Amino acid sequence: MLDVRRLRLLRELALRGTIASVAEALSFSPSAVSQQLSALEREAGVPLLERTGRSVRLTPAGHTLVEHAEAVLARLERAEADLVDVRAGLSGPVRVGAFPSATRAIVPGALRALAAEHPGLVPMVLEVDPADVGDALRAGELDVALVHDYDFVPFPTEPGIDDEPLCAEAMYLASTTPPTEPGLAAWRDAPWIVASPGTRCHAMTVRACQAAGFTPDIRHRIDDFDTVLRFVAAGQGVALVPELGALNETVVLTEVALCRRTRIAYRAGAGGHPAVRATCRALVTGTAGQPGARPR
């Protein structure tokens, strides 16, 4: 009989690439992960890993087993959802991840709605970059999370993760003066304020500028949109910001032909869990109070 916990470790190894990264993500020691994977190989009766020095990679049989593991883990999530007795009332923690502008604009209203409908639930909010959400959900650190994508940076497929649309919002070019011509090309010679490399916000700005025919002159790298707008107001450059982050009235905001879309993500198979569904409904309620976020 294959051990489900060991299947989870194999799935994480397929995603993360190294035993050390699996151990760090799941709070194990590398030796414990290696021992559990060796035990899984004995259970399977075939080699699942190829070891060369300190590196390791999955065999064809290992990749096949990972595909089955995804289905098994999703089925277990659905089984857990089916066993929840909603008549007794939902209770206990529900861990919610969100990016900063959603934490400020959407989550407070969602928490109020959740408390009114299910006072026994204890929401625990963690600000997290959307790029890290998949790992956090699979590791059980989060139950529900808000993620976003942009034009030019589509939402990637995450193994073991399901999602559903929440809202869309317009994008704006923040500057101290109105544009002299439509589009981003008017700002080709301006210094730019962008998010940190590796984030979707950073990729969106760079790709949007490249699509307009230039590479942005990046002056500052800042992730918080309120701080970005303060830098714009101080004459430090221009920036692209979503409507939920466009809260500074001292700068000029010009709508551009770009869009940010927000989705609700959770572990595959967990979408029917009553606590997850209740949280999703509450997030929809929280979004309804934001005029800039159009439901999808």
pLDDT for 79-120, tens place per residue?
887 777 666 678 899 999 999 999 999 999 999 999 999 999
CATH class (in words) of the domain with range 4-83: mainly alpha
State phi, psi for 202 to the nearest 5 degrees. -65, -50
Q: What percentage of residues in the chain have a pLDDT greater than 70? A: 96
Q: Using an 8 Å Cβ cutoff, are 279 and 109 in contact?
A: no
The whole-number average pLDDT for the span 227-232 is 95
Q: What's the average model confidence in pLDDT over 193-209?
A: 94
Question: Which CATH entry fits the domain spanning 87-162+261-295: 2.60.300.12, 3.40.50.720, 3.40.190.10, 3.20.19.10?
Answer: 3.40.190.10
Quick check: 169 and 275 in contact, CB under 8 A?
no
- Residue 2 has a pLDDT of 84
In the chain, what are the domain boundaries? 4-83, 87-162+261-295, 169-260
pLDDT mean over 24-46: 86
Q: Which pLDDT does position 233 carry in this prediction? A: 95
pTM of the model: 0.84
CATH code: domain 169-260 is 3.40.190.10
Give the residue among 58, 59, 45 at the shortest CA–CA distance from 2: 45
- Is there a common fold for 87-162+261-295 and 169-260? yes
pLDDT at 87: 64
- Tell me the pairing of strands 144-150 and 252-267: antiparallel
Q: Is the dihedral of CA 204, 227, 176, 215 positive or negative?
A: negative
pLDDT digits (tens, 9 = 90+) for 246-271: 877 789 999 999 999 999 999 999 99
More confident position, 47 or 114: 114
| Mean pLDDT value across residues 15-25 | 84
